[in-house]
Structure 1
Amino acid sequence: MSDIRKRDGNKGVTYQVRYPSAGTRTGYAYKTFRTMKEARAFRDKNAANPVSALLDTTIRTVGQAIDRWLDICEKEGRDGRDPVTAYTLGTYRRRADIMKAYPWEKALADLQTPDVVAFRSWLLRTHSRDLARKTLTSFHAVIKEMAMRGHIASNVAASVAIRAESRYDEPIVIPTPEEVARLLAAADRLANSRNKQTARTWRRYRPILYLAADSGMRPQEYLVIAKSGLHDGGVQVTRALERGGGKLSVTKTPAGRRFIDLSPETYDMVRHYAEHHAADNPHDLVFATETGKWLDTDNWRKRGFYKACIEAGLVDEDTDEDGKAILVPRFSPYDLRHFYASMLIEQRVNFKRMQKLMGHEDVKTTLNVYGHLIEKAERASEERFGMLSRLPRNTCGESVASAP
């Protein structure tokens, strides 16, 4: 039962509404207004929509909600998804510590949008913009989960966001087809080196490089492809290394599980290596080490990819901390993924197909990363004429411009 109480204090006369709230210790919450009219309107609205009486009160505080969300992520998987990986759970726990550090003054069920806005302001003042955005995104997930499970009436955080600064505000580096051809030719030479150790090393690195350029997979995906995933002239992507490389896991999102057609040359090269040279291992790995483990991504980048860049002459001059001239590889392994995407765009592959091949969960990601390339390709194929030239017009009139 709601009631209104008149208060006479330092700020003059105010009107306090006491109303039922399942998320509080006493079962009631309070809201103060300057006028009786405002207080009555709030009381009547609350009485007509007694949602709070129907809420599950087992979780009362924001901290309890965060802990429950972490438990769901680890054991059940949120919103129908698989449970998160150990690495992702560690990331969520670090963000949870930040969320809990904020001085939440209200019970979970009493949170309103302005409270979330205040939390956002605190995040932006106390942390980097990128970390603030990621933490707020996790808080969104907490509130959404609590609303779905009946602990709060609605998702009061839905409209509060921090705009992301795109990772690709700076132009992404994309090797040209000629540069990729030079990389592959370098791998061919290294695999046929007179130095037996170099040739042996590149017997494995060569098919990896070809696969990276021909599939657009992420390094953490193509380094751990399974022998059983090679079939029908392509590769089935089902797993990836967790960040840090310490654990073999499923792909980051369900969208990462996909089938990619390969060029016959690449398919035959990778399959031949898998059947004749792959080390025995318990993980069905194509590119296993001699000890039966997967390749380390840092080792592949430094000893494999960068070596190919140097052999191909794809290096730039820079200076180290002592001011000495050094040669720096022009590209990184991930740039071959951008090359693959650029080839899809050049072939006019539609957005949804491109999204699937790149393993993006949302087509917005595809457009955000490669939208400028798509726009460039479209401009190159367009006829150049003004909009007025498309209008049906009567051309019998005399030209004013040509009049004396």
Structure 2
Amino acid sequence: MAGIQKRVRLSGTTTYVVRWYAADGTERSKGGFRTRKDAKAFAAKADAETLTGMDFDPGKGKMLFRDAAAIWLESRRADTRNNAENHRYALAPAATRRGDGKTLGIDAVFGGYPLNKITREYIQAWVNRLTEAGKKPSTVRHAFRTVRMVLEQAVVDGRLPKSPAEYIKLPTETGTNGGQVGVVVDRAQFLTPAQVSAVVAATPWPYNVLVHVAAWAGLRAAELGGLTIANVELPEPPLNPNVPTKPGTLRVEQAARAKGAAIEYGPLKTKQSYRRVPLTAETTDLLRDYLAEHPRSNEPTAPLFPGTTLTRPRTTGVPTTTAAPGAANAGGEEVPPKATAKARARRQADALAALTVEDAEKRLVLDWSTPLRHATFYKAVYRPAVLRANRLTPSAKLDPDQSFHSLRHTYASLCLAAGIRPIDIAELMGHRDVKTTLTVYAHLINTDDHTGNMTALGALAAPAQDPSYSNVIPLHG
């Protein structure tokens, strides 16, 4: 049991020191208690922790959160999926973050704090600030989970007696379908075939092919980036033009993810993500034509879709004038004093969307030796293409903020409309199980029309024909 020692300082003041043996047998001590009551309370706590096998050293709690996070990240090096990279980005130094990540990011808020100074109230206040800043519920929850995991490991490592990341009220992710998390209820997330065609037509080559494949094969963005020439299986076209083309297949075997400045291939999200996806005849023909133009189509390991960068627009010969903040520029538009990253991205998308498809294609510098970086593709190609599609095809009426992932949702909705069973859709999309499919897309499944089922059931009630009344006339020799 813990012991308490009384100490009288030269000044005459009395303090108490608690000495005890931790779970690993080492002797520990903590002083500075002004009353015996406080010392007894700590001694009881130390005894309880020893009995439960906890090995908590109060001195270890002085470690900064930033240092504990680095230890936690190192322990997750074996995670070869993009989870570790996402956590590394979330925990990056505040100075390297953009926008409000410099003030609301994990390192900015917690990095310089000792672990034992972080309280539940402090964490809750941070979550509230993220929510008030307009962050999506999923973004807030992901950031909080990272903080919680760092603190939980600090408990396991004996740096904290318990985690302060408990009883935190988080923003709720709900849908209108019974309040279930993960249900996609936004109609804008499901494009019609005509809308898909409009986006494809507004996207410069070769990424118009990628957009088509995303909508008609349902691959995730990282899976599309992970495709190589060897992953495309196309049957020989039929000699008879009146015979329909046999469907091709995409083998989904790896994902492309950003690792700093490089793009690397890695494992897929789940074991169910490894799959073969059959293609429609139109998609098969489109890929066959695309491979005919692909400069490395005879190299199995070459990326199917190339990496890209944007060239700067050509100079017009007219000198550029810089307007003062708040003043109007040469185009008559007010120059904002300090544009946010989101506003700058929107301006870039608007400027690129104003180009013709041909001019947009000329701005792309393709690297056929490097997998596609999705973030670059989204900002430089896809988002402007959505805006351009609305300009070129006003009837499309696409959401200006249409996400690329909505093409995957579109594939699911098209499969359901075609009558494909949910269990088959789950396999085609690489879902963990059919429950995921039914949860996310349950509201798209028509459960009110039972005509086909009842017709089949009613057919069983029809009387079977007596063989003796056959209308077949036997022939006798």
Q: What TM-score do the two structures reach when normalised by structure 1? A: 0.60
CA contact (8 A) 2:257 2:264 kept: yes
Q: Distance in 2 between matches of 1:208 and 1:367?
A: 27
CA contact (8 A) 1:140 1:158 kept: yes
What are the equivalent positions in structure 2 for 1:309-328 lying under 5 Å apart? 310-316=391-397
Q: Residues 98, 366 of structure 1: CA spacing in aligned structure 2 closer, same or farther, 3 A cutoff?
A: farther
SS in 1 for 2:448: helix
Q: Residues 53, 381 of structure 1: CA spacing in aligned structure 2 closer, same or farther, 3 A cutoff?
A: same
Q: Residues 66, 57 of structure 1: CA spacing in aligned structure 2 closer, same or farther, 3 A cutoff?
A: farther
Percentage of matched positions with identical amino acids:
16
Q: Are residue 99 (structure 1) and residue 101 (structure 2) matched?
A: no
Q: Distance in 1 between matches of 2:277 and 2:81?
A: 30
Q: Which of 334, 339, 351 is equivalent to 2:410? A: 339
SS in 1 for 2:288: helix
Provide the residue aligned with 2:197 in structure 1. Answer: 184
Q: Are residue 173 (structure 1) and residue 187 (structure 2) matched?
A: yes
Q: How many positions carry a matched residue from both structures?
A: 335
Q: Residues 239, 119 of structure 1: CA spacing in aligned structure 2 closer, same or farther, 3 A cutoff?
A: same
CA positional deviation for 1:230: 2.5
Offset from partner CA, 1:275-307 (integer Å, 9 cap, x none):
422133997211226432455332331564554
CA positional deviation for 1:118: 2.7
Q: Distance in 1 between matches of 2:92 and 2:195?
A: 45
Provide the residue aligned with 1:285 in structure 2. Answer: 303
CA positional deviation for 1:70: 2.3
- Amino acid aligned to 1:50: T
Q: Residues 103, 59 of structure 1: CA spacing in aligned structure 2 closer, same or farther, 3 A cutoff?
A: closer
Q: Distance in 1 between matches of 2:212 and 2:81?
A: 33
CA positional deviation for 1:142: 1.0
CA positional deviation for 1:236: 0.7
CA contact (8 A) 1:63 1:100 kept: no
Query: Computing the radius of gyration over CA atoms, which structure comes out larger, 1 or 2?
Result: 2
CA contact (8 A) 2:232 2:250 kept: yes
SS in 1 for 2:88: helix
- Amino acid aligned to 2:67: D
SS in 1 for 2:252: strand
Q: Residues 152, 16 of structure 1: CA spacing in aligned structure 2 closer, same or farther, 3 A cutoff?
A: same
Q: Distance in 1 between matches of 2:285 and 2:273?
A: 23
Provide the residue aligned with 1:395 in structure 2. Answer: none
Q: Are residue 120 (structure 1) and residue 134 (structure 2) matched?
A: no
Provide structure 1 residue ranges, at least 5 long, that are not aligned to the other structure. 7-14, 107-114, 192-197, 317-326, 384-404
Q: Distance in 2 between matches of 1:120 and 1:291?
A: 44
CA contact (8 A) 2:190 2:407 kept: no
Comparing both chains, which one has the higher relative contact order based on Cα–Cα distances under 8 Å and sequence gaps of 6 or more?
2
CA positional deviation for 1:365: 7.7
Provide the residue aligned with 2:89 in structure 1. Answer: 90
CA positional deviation for 1:223: 4.5
Q: Distance in 2 between matches of 1:51 and 1:144?
A: 20
CA positional deviation for 1:101: 3.9
Q: Are residue 28 (structure 1) and residue 32 (structure 2) matched?
A: no
Q: Are residue 140 (structure 1) and residue 145 (structure 2) matched?
A: no
Provide the residue aligned with 1:297 in structure 2. Answer: 378
What are the equivalent positions in structure 2 for 1:104-253 lying under 5 Å apart? 104-105=115-116, 116-124=119-127, 127-128=130-131, 130=135, 133-148=141-156, 150-151=157-158, 156-157=163-164, 159-166=166-173, 171-174=185-188, 179-181=192-194, 183-184=196-197, 187=200, 201-202=204-205, 204-231=206-233, 233-242=249-258, 247-250=263-266, 253=269
Q: Distance in 2 between matches of 1:259 and 1:333?
A: 21
Offset from partner CA, 1:367-399 (integer Å, 9 cap, x none):
77x3xx41463653589xxxxxxxxxxxxxxxx
Q: What TM-score do the two structures reach when normalised by structure 2? A: 0.52
Q: Distance in 1 between matches of 2:158 and 2:449?
A: 54
Q: Which of 403, 417, 422 is equivalent to 1:349? A: 422
Q: Residues 67, 268 of structure 1: CA spacing in aligned structure 2 closer, same or farther, 3 A cutoff?
A: same
CA positional deviation for 1:337: 1.7
Q: Distance in 2 between matches of 1:375 and 1:224?
A: 31
CA positional deviation for 1:259: 2.1
Provide structure 2 residue ranges, at least 5 long, that are not aligned to the other structure. 7-14, 94-105, 177-183, 234-247, 309-365, 452-477
CA positional deviation for 1:100: 2.5
- Amino acid aligned to 1:226: T
SS in 2 for 1:299: helix
CA positional deviation for 1:212: 0.9
- Amino acid aligned to 1:263: L
- Amino acid aligned to 1:342: S
CA positional deviation for 1:357: 5.4
Q: Residues 276, 143 of structure 1: CA spacing in aligned structure 2 closer, same or farther, 3 A cutoff?
A: same
The structure with the largest helix share of the pair is 1
